[in-house]
Structure 1
Amino acid sequence: MTLIAKLCQVSLTTVLRVLKSVETQLPHQLKSQRFPDVLMVDEFKSHASREDKMSFICADGKTGELVDILPSRTLNKLTVYFNRMPLEEQKKVKFLVTDMNAAYFQLTKTGFPTANIIIDRFHVIKHLNTAFNEFRVREMKVLIRQKKNSEANKLKSNWKFLLKNQQNISISEFKTWRSFPSPKYPILTKSMMIDRLLSFSANLKEAYDIFQLLTYHFRNKDGQSFFDLLKNLPNNLDKLFKDKLENLLAYETGIRNALLYDFSNGKIEAKDTHIKTLKRVSYGFKSFHNMRIRILLINGLIKIK
């Protein structure tokens, strides 16, 4: 906006006044509170003064078109906003695609009575990766207490290999590894190198097998096998790791829907990235109102006449 002011030889206040004036050209669907049958919801950091730090964003789950942005993601404010729609419009929303934010689950009760929850698949995989990675760190600390610093350092430097899809790990390509240098160690395949890492801890090996089996069922969209395994985890599995995995049982309906339908939050996550870039090049926004107008402009929802 400072650049525009210099190029047009006007004050920054004039640029801000013109920016605010384009809000009158909002498209009809934002004013009439119409929503698509598949609605993606998410939040992003706004840091606007006098507003909640986390703002709410929703978009069309089929086209990816931005629907609206709200200054707060709290349930009471979202309920007031969505309940302004007629009940017929609320019932048109068939699917609500979200992450594991519990507040959004309540929207199906207060705002969209006929909508089904779909948990974004990325967040399920992220939850599994985080659970296993936290357990790996705890096992590293155990090795350090046992004076096995070399083994702990190898687990630390090669952590990414343990999170890789086991189906894509090479079992035939031999090479040298920085953590297992020759001539002390022979050349190893990626699979053999991972086996050496897992040999440092029996508990880690057991957790790795469970983690890989869960991700295998999930990637193959086998909901029955996925939840059968979650409900019958071994009793000797690390308690914290087991509890973290079993937390997914609270989202069973949404995860099963995610395996049945192809909707995800990918398009709205891309919009979050664009918003982060806008905030960075603008050095942040003090006013949420101005930020919202800028976001609607870059998404093409305001057509300048």
Structure 2
Amino acid sequence: MSTVEFNNRVAIVTGAGGGLGRSHALALAARGVKVVVNDLGGSVDGTGGSETMAEKVVAEIIAAGGEAIANGANVTNEAEVQAMVDETIAKWGKIDILVNNAGILRDKSFSKMEMKDWDLVVAVHLKGSAVCTKAVWNHMKANGYGRIVMTTSSSGMYGNFGQTNYGAAKAGLSGFMRTLCLEGAKYDIRVNVLSPTARSRMTENLMPEEILEKLTVESVSAGLVYLVCDDAPNRMIMCAGAGGYSETKVFETQGINLSEGAQTAENVAKFIDKIRDTTGQEEFTNGGQQGAKFLTRIQKGEFTA
């Protein structure tokens, strides 16, 4: 049976000055986790910056009897992130948990989007998560323990109009997680993804008030706390919102194999229904399994045409 416990853990939560990040930081601190509240303090579109937001969250945690420090590192800046990691280790001796939550929005349809808006959104979400993860990775390997969560979105898994930049970055984080969890498994570094639906600065103007009232950040943080606990899963995409929790998985259909003489676009079209048939579909846990499926059929001489 899974338990939700934390054994003297230290966490960094990025983008923790408000919204989901603040909720994550408070929820972890309430369970005795020492928390670095990281926030650049910028607006939703990534402009501006101040540590004030992070400092307010730290004050809340300390007032409630917890331990926390504020940090204003820009997650895309390797030197600033490394300084944050060094400061944390100097203060508390280790880092056990990293929650990659920092993000911005610059929504526009692709035809109207300037590439600078693409670059910045991808940089904060995708590169920022990579920079922070890289800064703690070898430390976690040396300690033989780590819990890392990326923050994805339904936009990254299913698409949303006007969010090509955001969706691409969020989809990238899922792929990032799937490889990291393979590389970190023998060091007990477990890597998961959280896909939240919650009221935040990013969603404030997108939904009616009666819906927003149900999308509490606290309900999402319940899922986050589980994903970084001592008994956390590995390689999970947890969706959380309004008290609902589910898992997103990628499956591959059985598909077909065409013999050398039959490998034409016309035969792909002819058998497209069979290619897309979900009967017997599988969830793969590494990229080699896809090629192995097709090659095994070739060796057995199993061809559709």
The TM-score, its normalising length taken from structure 2, stands at: 0.20
Greater helix share, structure number: 1
Which is higher, the Rg of structure 1 or of structure 2?
A: 1
State the TM-score, normalizing by the size of structure 1: 0.20
